[in-house]
Amino acid sequence: MKERPYDFLALNVRGFCTDSALLTSTWPLSGMPRLLESLFDTVDGAVAVDWSAQGSLLPAAGGEAEVWLHLKAELSVPLQCQRCLQAVQQHLQVDRRFRFVRTESEAERLDETAEEDVMVLGQGLNLHDLLEDELILALPLVPRHEGTCPTPLPMPVDDLPEAEPAPNPFAALAALRAGKGGAK
């Protein structure tokens, strides 16, 4: 395995996987604006995403080796609890394997039956954007505290005066019918 520099923003996936390379690093959460939009509160500028990417070539029966990328990441972020509407820390974890193929038609064909994500080998993969996409997909649909919320929602206060009951519209109709019945 030879060591060479890799460009995170335009990763040569085939070369990375051929080298069976492993990258580990941290990226500041502040550099992921699309993910930041989903958070409940601002985060400390020191909050970072710990991540790793491992490339590999796996032998395939009767063909060339398959190109695989294993992406892992984790961090905790503040989201809005959907029960109490307060902040709740949620742990996000990404552990995804991507298979790369040469053509779009091959990717579409394999994507119908494959459990893994199938992507087309391109000029360069933006690993930063892929990681941000995967973290956004890891967000829970309905974030909430485990068990009971520490601060329940305040009950609404009913300050309106007691309203007079509305007259029954059928009572007026009954009075009209009674008046007609007496005129016969």
Is there a domain that residue 158 lies in? no
CA gap 141, 145 in Å, rounded:
13
How many independent structural domains does the chain possess? 1
Is there a domain that residue 32 lies in? yes
Is there a domain that residue 6 lies in? no
Range scoring the smallest mean pLDDT among 20-29, 63-72, 117-126, 171-180: 171-180
Is there a domain that residue 144 lies in? no
Summarised one tens digit per residue, pLDDT across range 121-178 is 888 899 999 999 999 999 999 999 988 888 776 666 666 667 777 777 787 778 778 8
CB 101 within 8 A of CB 63: no
Is there a domain that residue 170 lies in? no
Domain that holds residue 133: 13-138
Is there a domain that residue 176 lies in? no
Is there a domain that residue 19 lies in? yes
Is there a domain that residue 4 lies in? no
Residue 127's contacts (CB-CB under 8 Å, 6 or more residues apart) are: 8, 9, 11, 23, 53, 71
Summarised one tens digit per residue, pLDDT across range 78-94 is 999 988 889 999 999 99
